[in-house]
Structure 1
Amino acid sequence: MENLIVIPENEKQLSLVKELLQEMKIKYKIEKSSKLEVKDVLALKIEKAREEMEKGELVTVDPHHLWESI
């Protein structure tokens, strides 16, 4: 059997999905997600890198001259 992950965009969609599953007598469980989405994590890393660049703390590495760049 497969699992299905449904990601409603708002409370109304969530409510409708729950009602549909109950009507169809399909078991489901609710898990609160505390994880950040990938795009959120990426945005945080980009912001941190920009702050480091402004402070002069960012280290850039030339892939063609790897050992000389370090």
Structure 2
Amino acid sequence: MKKIVNRATAPTPKFFKVLRNVGLVLAAVGGTILAAPIALPVLVTTIGGYMAVAGGVLTATSQLTTTDDSE
């Protein structure tokens, strides 16, 4: 567990910072679609769910990527 915390707080390469931000945007858009106060077609809500999950995975994976090669 300590290793994961160390990786999460370690410096992240620039490319993965960009990917992390893209993931955050995807998660936000997907969450907005899912929380829309109007009834949307099933296809749109399904896509919104996939966007939210993909954004979360992309963000988490990018955050745990480090430049430390000692491991």
TM-score calculated relative to the size of structure 2: 0.31
Rg comparison, structure with higher value: 1
**More relative contact order, 1 or 2 (CA 8 Å, 6+ apart):** 2
TM-score calculated relative to the size of structure 1: 0.31
As a proportion of its length, which structure holds more helix?
A: 2
